[in-house]
């Protein structure tokens, strides 16, 4: 009897397993396309499908009503670039090496979801809503079409930083129309809930609440932005239906991180790793499975890549931090692993020479390693207001040990592939969004060092620093000086305050004040080539040329490839009459930046017009001048003037006259009569068969 019962049980399991397999395979066969939508800076508790009191997200609600809603989803970092790097690779920042929006790019060695789909023959497209995901930061890997052209979206401060959701939707619907005949993977990035909160109508009027409390008003504006983003992505869902693509498209809606909205003293995100920023939304609609389901067990952004691959039956070989939830989702079961550890981090405090914030979430608990460690039961204490570190010491010790193991196993010691030097324009654009770009991650950020100061004690300083970055790009220098002088009294050891004061006083030509703050800065941050170069500039402007030369040379010792410093040194030597040294430094600058038109002009002019035959070299002058003219498409009167002088120096007087006449006409057309008159004098010399020789002091 027992034997017969055992056989019946085995057969039942076989039939049940076969049923699940058939159901799974049918769903896989129904998925022909994948749409991944990321809403930047979107807290799940502001969505009506996650329990928000107002009807904010009817379109996401509708997708959730036909699919799977994950209630507790964790992001590893509250920053756009590293969180999206996790979303698209299935690995955590320790592994993919991207820890901030600035100074990093996703290494080509990382394998993205787009690359996986491209190998499977899918058309791959992406449309991003912010400069933070510009292709230069590495997320374009594997995409046939990556639209990050935000140049026409100019902000009030003149920087191209984001595009509105309706523009993302318009481009997305155009792409879907063109690519509807072939299997596709489309990634959309909506940036609207990010500051500044300025929802379009009718969403502003619908959700805005006047209040004497600024944060209450900001929260209502933020709500309007979430509702607006929902409206925009709803138009994409409608386009899928219109093109008869909806029923065979896997739709995934998620976010990279949330927004603190005043909790724990932080208005926005990037600094702390509390629930307001590391908890995100995740909704999936799977073709062939329209029963709504809610999964309560914690999952992570790291699970998106393996789960999508599992749902489509795609095998992958790369190492992943996440797990495949596809069978659990399809079979209406909870994920198998109940005691997973989800890593999270914020290294931003280390820019201020503070301790880092390193955390793990397991079950109902979150542990944060820093100077004064923290432990929270996030289910019972959603605001994480009650630190249970003293009451739960054994649990905290276990979680700390597990965090240490994750760091030891996942941390990439050689991060050279992900390090990235921001150009000035990129840095300005990030700072215009309020991101602090001064400083760098402490190389010991992943050590359990409790000797450094705790980030919790410096939240006011961080909030004001974000405000400063925005004010600078709005040209409100007086306000920046007031805030910095206030902060320097309360937080004298924070470097960036002295940097901003030094920069502003240098711009104002208040050189002694600039020198004071820059010198305090280099005491706080020794061996920083940029700060040393700024001291050199201030010394030069005060006429202390020996000191300027010394600081520029020290800056070059630390960072030899600084073209700007070589240009500055060349100008200094030229001013002192050391012309060969000037030439040598201009040439050095060109070795790093061959496109420096002003440097090419300087070399062409001095080689063509210098009175000393030791310096004058017509052949080299002609080469430099031609390079400068080619770079300016022969439409710049300055470079044409240098070319004319070089032709004359080499005895090619007809060419000199013709070129000089073009320069003279351009000066006249550009309302520069004085310069045009000077060229007329040179033209007379060239007609007489004589080169122009500069009269140096």
What is the structure's pLDDT at 378? 97
Do 534 and 669 lie in one domain? The reply is no
Sheet of strand 68-70, all strands in order from the earlier edge strand to the far edge: 145-147, 123-127, 184-190, 33-39, 249-254, 282-285, 68-70, 293-295
pLDDT at residue 154, rounded to an integer: 44
| 225 domain residue, yes or no | yes
| Residue 671 sits in the same domain as residue 626 | yes
Check residue 464 and give its pLDDT.
84
**What's the Cα-to-Cα distance from 7 to each of 1, 4, 14, 18, rounded to whole Å?**
10, 5, 10, 16
Q: State how far the Cα of 427 lies from the Cα of 423, in Å rounded to an integer.
A: 6
Q: What is the pLDDT of residue 196?
A: 87
Number of domains, the chain: 4
**What local confidence, expressed as pLDDT, does residue 496 receive?**
81
Query: Rounded to a whole number, what is the largest CA-CA distance in the chain?
Result: 122
Res 418: pLDDT: 64
Please answer whether residues 272 and 462 qualify as being in contact, where contact means their C-beta atoms are separated by less than 8 angstroms: no
491 occurs within a structural domain: no
Residue 160 CA: distances (Å) to CA of 170, 243, 270, 410: 19, 33, 21, 36
Answer yes or no: do 152 and 241 share one domain: yes
What letter would DSSP give residue 462? H
Residue with tokens 């991207």: 98
Question: Domain boundary residue among 342, 371, 405?
Answer: 342
Q: What is the CATH number for 42?
A: 3.40.720.10
Q: What pLDDT score was predicted for residue 4?
A: 37
Under a CB-based contact definition with an 8 Å cutoff, are residues 355 and 370 in contact? yes
Q: Does any domain span residue 188?
A: yes
Q: Are residues 231 and 251 in the same domain?
A: yes
- Choosing from 308, 325, 342, the residue where a domain stops is 342
Query: Do 270 and 284 belong to one domain?
Result: yes
213 occurs within a structural domain: yes
**Strand partners for 162:** 130
State the CATH number of the domain containing residue 681.
1.25.40
Q: Whole-angstrom Cα distance, residue 434 to residue 454?
A: 22
Residue 588's domain comprises 527-594
User: Same structural domain for residues 161 and 193?
Assistant: yes
- Supply the CATH number for residue 546's domain: 1.25.40.10
Write out pLDDT tens, residues 130-175. 999 999 999 999 999 999 988 644 444 444 478 999 999 999 999 9
Domain termination residue (choose one: 570, 594, 618): 594
Q: How far apart are CA 550 and CA 347, in angstroms?
A: 34
State the pLDDT at residue 5.
36
Residue 512 covered by a domain: no
State whether 192 and 311 are in the same domain. yes
Does 296 share its domain with 152?
yes
Q: Do the domain assignments include residue 199?
A: yes
| 349-378 pLDDT, tens digit each | 998 889 999 999 999 999 999 999 999 999
Position 133 in a domain: yes
Listed as ranges, residues in the chain with pLDDT below 50 are: 1-27, 152-160
Whether 604 and 588 map to the same domain: the answer is no
Are 296 and 155 members of one domain?
Answer: yes
| Residue 633 burial (10 A CB sphere; 0-12, 13-18, 19+) | exposed
- Say if 587 falls within a structural domain: yes
Instruction: Please check whether residues 325 and 272 belong to one and the same domain.
Output: yes
pTM: 0.79
Phi and psi torsions of 283, nearest 5°: -130, 135
**Would you state the pLDDT for residue 11?**
33
Same domain membership, residue 204 and residue 70: yes
């Amino acid at each position: 009897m027992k034997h017969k019962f055992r056989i019946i049980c085995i057969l039942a399991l076989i039939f049940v397993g076969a049923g699940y397999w058939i159901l799974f395979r049918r769903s896989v066969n129904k998925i022909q396309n994948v749409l991944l939508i990321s809403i930047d800076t979107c807290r799940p508790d502001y969505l009506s499908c996650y329990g928000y009191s107002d009807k904010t997200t009817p379109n996401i609600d509708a997708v959730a009503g036909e699919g799977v809603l994950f209630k507790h989803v964790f992001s590893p970092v509250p920053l756009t670039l590293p969180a999206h790097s996790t979303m698209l690779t299935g690995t955590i920042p320790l592994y993919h090496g991207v820890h901030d929006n600035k100074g990093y790019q996703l290494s080509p060695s990382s394998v993205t979801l787009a690359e996986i789909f491209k190998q499977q023959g899918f058309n791959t497209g992406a449309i991003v809503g912010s400069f933070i995901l510009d292709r230069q930061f590495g997320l374009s890997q594997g995409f046939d079409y990556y639209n990050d052209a935000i140049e026409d979206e100019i902000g009030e401060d003149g920087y191209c930083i984001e595009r509105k959701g309706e523009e993302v939707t318009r481009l997305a619907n155009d792409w879907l129309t063109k690519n509807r005949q072939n299997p596709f993977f489309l990634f959309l990035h909506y940036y609207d809930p990010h500051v500044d909160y300025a929802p379009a109508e009718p969403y502003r009027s619908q959700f805005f609440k006047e209040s004497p409390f600024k944060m209450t008003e900001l929260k209502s504006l933020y709500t309007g932005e979430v509702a607006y983003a929902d409206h925009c992505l709803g138009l994409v869902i409608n386009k899928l239906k219109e093109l008869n693509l909806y029923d065979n498209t896997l739709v995934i809606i998620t976010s990279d991180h949330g927004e603190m909205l005043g909790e724990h003293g932080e208005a926005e995100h990037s600094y702390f790793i509390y629930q307001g920023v590391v908890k995100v939304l995740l909704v999936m609609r799977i073709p062939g499975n329209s029963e709504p389901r809610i999964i309560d067990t914690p999952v992570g952004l790291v699970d998106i890549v393996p789960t999508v691959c599992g749902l489509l039956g795609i095998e992958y070989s790369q190492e992943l931090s996440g797990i495949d939830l596809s069978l659990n989702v399809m079979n209406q079961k909870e994920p198998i692993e109940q005691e997973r550890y989800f890593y999270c981090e914020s290294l931003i405090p280390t820019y201020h020479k503070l301790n880092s914030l390193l955390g793990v979430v397991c079950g109902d608990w979150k542990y944060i390693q820093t100077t004064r460690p923290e432990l929270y039961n996030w289910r019972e204490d959603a605001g994480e207001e009650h630190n249970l570190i003293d009451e739960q010491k054994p649990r905290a010790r276990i979680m700390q040990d597990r965090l240490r193991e994750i760091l030891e196993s996942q941390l990439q010691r050689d991060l050279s592939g992900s390090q990235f030097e921001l150009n000035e324009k990129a840095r300005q654009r990030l700072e215009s969004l309020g991101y602090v770009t001064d400083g760098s991650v402490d190389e010991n950020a992943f050590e359990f060092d409790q000797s450094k100061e705790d980030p919790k004690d410096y939240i006011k300083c961080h909030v004001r620093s974000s405000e400063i970055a925005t004010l600078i790009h709005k040209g409100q220098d007086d306000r920046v000086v007031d805030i910095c002088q206030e902060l320097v009294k309360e937080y004298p050891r924070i470097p960036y305050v002295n940097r901003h004061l030094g920069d502003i006083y240098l711009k104002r030509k208040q050189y002694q004040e600039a020198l004071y703050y820059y010198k305090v800065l280099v005491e706080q941050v020794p061996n920083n080539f940029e700060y040393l170069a700024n001291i050199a500039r201030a010394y030069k402007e005060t006429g202390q040329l020996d000191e300027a030369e010394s600081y520029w040379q020290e800056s070059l010792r630390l960072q030899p490839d600084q073209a700007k410093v070589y240009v500055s040194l060349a100008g200094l030597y030229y001013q002192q009459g050391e012309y060969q040294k000037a030439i040598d430094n201009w040439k050095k600058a060109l070795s790093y930046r061959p496109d420096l038109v002003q440097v090419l002009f300087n070399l062409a002019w001095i080689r063509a017009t210098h009175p000393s035959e030791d310096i004058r070299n017509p052949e080299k002058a002609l080469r430099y001048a031609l390079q400068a003219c080619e770079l300016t498409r022969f439409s710049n009167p300055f470079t044409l003037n240098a070319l004319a002088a070089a032709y004359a120096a080499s005895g090619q007087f007809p060419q000199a006259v013709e070129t000089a006449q073009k320069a003279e006409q351009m000066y006249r057309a550009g309302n520069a009569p004085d310069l045009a008159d000077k060229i007329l004098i040179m033209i007379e010399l060239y007609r007489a068969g004589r080169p122009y020789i500069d009269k140096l002091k």
